[in-house]
Amino acid sequence: MKANVGGIDRILRIIGGLALIGWAFAGGPVWAWLGIIPLATALINFCPLYALIGINTSGNKQG
């Protein structure tokens, strides 16, 4: 697993993930728990969907 999430992408994933999880805690819809996904991908710097479609925002060359 090479890092394919970086910079602004990572920050936006953390903010969005935490916002969705916070909404779920505050009584939002059940699907708001999906915020765990962008939060996890930001923390591990790897997004399986990005790998599948060939996107890399980390600045690292994929080899």
Domain segments of the chain as ranges: 7-46
DSSP track, 17-59:
HHHHHHHHHTT--GGGGGGHHHHHHHHHT--HHHHHHT---SS
pTM for the whole structure: 0.88
Cβ contact 24:32 at 8 Å: yes
The 10s digit of each residue's pLDDT in 43-52 is 999 999 999 9
**Do you know the residue count of the chain?**
63
pLDDT in tens, 4-32: 999 999 999 999 999 999 999 999 999 99
Q: Among residues 53, 49, 42, 52, which one has the least CA distance to residue 5?
A: 42
- Separation of alpha carbons 16 and 11, rounded Å: 9
